[in-house]
Amino acid sequence: MTKPLTPSLNRRGLLQAAAVGAIAIDPALRAVVYAAGSDAPEKPEVKIGFIPLTDCASVVMASVLGLDKKYGVKIVPSKEASWAGVRDKLVNGELDFAHVLYGLVYGVHLGVSGPKKDMAVLMTLNNNGQGLTLSKKLADKGAGNLEGLVALMKKEPREYTFAQTFPTGTHAMWLYYWLASAGINPMKDVKSIVVPPPQMVANMRVGNMDGFSVGEPWNHRAIIDGIGVSAATSQDVWKDHPEKVLGTTAEFVKKYPNTARAVTAAIIEAGQWIDSGLQNKSKMAETIADKSYVNTSVDAINQRILGRYQNGMGKTWDDPNYMKFYNDGAVNFPYLSDGMWFLTQHKRWGLLKDHPDYLAIAKQINQIDLYKQAATAAKAPIPKDVLRTSKLIDGMVWDGKDPKKYADGFKIKA
């Protein structure tokens, strides 16, 4: 569990009144959203696990700003050490919800990433903002990007090691997709290891890997510390990709639907607050940099959340597709096609032996109806379609309409 907020954060809590507005939800809105019986959250206090990453921000800020109280629930953020730990605590009920990898939730539901349990995705927490970092040693040999890496691997053949954060998770999928787009088979041509996000920089410092795929601020931290360079961003692989989700078990949603709805609404509103302007993003960076949360310097967080990037080799740029937590509602909707995409990649890389019923599983996990009710409460728009279309780095178009054909259509696979 995280420590109490520092006094400075308590003073910052004075912003709460402005950010939260009226404490009570409009009675008419309540009647619409909670048509069936009592609207009160069944569980007044919930524990939400998070990993020290920039994209835990909307969960943390929902608590810090008191947005949770507006919806009649208290969020207690709980700092966790690894994604495997988050998985275990979600499955055994120690955590009520978690800021969690999209693909981890799907992996647990199918029993391919630990104990099998029916799971639920309530909302997407963020799009974009992850990174693919190569060691400074590789960059000094000309491998500061994917093209340079391919050339170096041909010139100096050996076992190249890359770290990701969880076998079925998002970072593994960005790493594999990125390498495969240049003809490198991540299952055969390189070694892949699992390292928890906060330990990536330390492991690269001692030479345990040639590159890693992780969320911020750890890519930028590697640059600040002079041990890594940014070879690519996850938005280079897939613009506006789904990343972390608010995850829980199907059992929890069934038992505590009002609680799930209230927590989702509070976190949607926290995302609105973060994305509403520069001042709020800066305050968010100051808050989550604290040792209770991400435990890093503010400068490791605040540049990239504004889209100000540097690669550690002298190049700087403004990226319009930086990490977003709301983006006028486009971020948070749990599109069925987003969940199905992870299944296609699990099949591609041999994590699933057979094709699952892609659409049926996405419908089981992604709580579309509950999300719509929470979004209505938070005054967030709802898209017309449960599928969306995207073009990825290799030119492949994903629209969710024929997942089996898509999964089988890759030249490079396990």
> pLDDT tens for residues 116-148?
999 999 999 999 999 999 999 999 999 999 999
* Mean pLDDT across 4-12: 38
Residue 86 near residue 80, CB atoms below 8 Å: yes
How many Å from the N-terminal Cα to the C-terminal Cα in the chain?
A: 39
pLDDT for 244 equals 98
Residues 6+ apart with CB under 8 A from 268: 123, 326, 332, 374, 375, 378, 380
pLDDT at 372 over 50: yes
pLDDT for 21 equals 38
Cα R_g (the chain), whole angstroms: 20
* Mean pLDDT across 362-373: 98
* 67: region left, alpha or beta (phi > 0 left; psi from -120 to 50 alpha): alpha
Q: In the structure encoding, which two tokens stand for residue 301, read together?
A: 């967080």
Residue 140 near residue 229, CB atoms below 8 Å: no
pLDDT for 37 equals 59
- The CA distances from residue 187 to 160, 354, 388, in Å, are 12, 18, 29
Q: State how far the Cα of 15 lies from the Cα of 81, in Å rounded to an integer.
A: 30
pLDDT digits (tens, 9 = 90+) for 324-348: 999 999 999 999 999 999 999 999 9
Q: State how far the Cα of 39 lies from the Cα of 33, in Å rounded to an integer.
A: 8
Sorting pLDDT into bands at 50, 70 and 90, what band is 38? confident
Q: State how far the Cα of 326 lies from the Cα of 17, in Å rounded to an integer.
A: 21
pLDDT digits (tens, 9 = 90+) for 387-413: 999 999 999 999 999 999 999 999 999
* Mean pLDDT across 10-17: 40
Q: State how far the Cα of 59 lies from the Cα of 155, in Å rounded to an integer.
A: 46
pLDDT digits (tens, 9 = 90+) for 243-253: 999 999 999 99
pLDDT for 216 equals 98
Average pLDDT score, the chain: 93
Tell me which residue of 369, 368, 347, 367 sits closest to 357, measured CA to CA: 347
Q: In the structure encoding, which two tokens stand for residue 379, read together?
A: 């005054």
pLDDT at 2 over 60: no
- C-alpha angle with apex 363: 359 to 405, nearest 5 degrees? 10
Which H or E element spans position 264?
helix 257-275
CATH-assigned architecture of domain 7-126+242-294+325-333+357-385: 3-Layer(aba) Sandwich (3.40)
pLDDT for 1 equals 44
Q: What is the largest CA-CA distance in the chain?
A: 68
pLDDT for 3 equals 37
Q: State how far the Cα of 173 lies from the Cα of 180, in Å rounded to an integer.
A: 10
Q: Which one-letter DSSP state was computed for residue 400?
A: S
* Mean pLDDT across 250-270: 98
pLDDT digits (tens, 9 = 90+) for 66-109: 999 999 999 999 999 999 999 999 999 999 999 999 999 999 99
Q: State how far the Cα of 224 lies from the Cα of 379, in Å rounded to an integer.
A: 39
Residue 211 near residue 162, CB atoms below 8 Å: yes
Structural domain boundaries of the chain?
7-126+242-294+325-333+357-385
pLDDT digits (tens, 9 = 90+) for 188-241: 999 999 999 999 999 999 999 999 999 999 999 999 999 999 999 999 999 999
Sorting pLDDT into bands at 50, 70 and 90, what band is 39? confident
Whether the link from the prior residue into 217 is cis, omega within 30° of 0, is yes
Residue 397 near residue 182, CB atoms below 8 Å: no
* Mean pLDDT across 161-187: 98
β-sheet bridge partners, residue 398: 390
**Which residue has tokens 């909670």?**
34
* Mean pLDDT across 22-38: 46
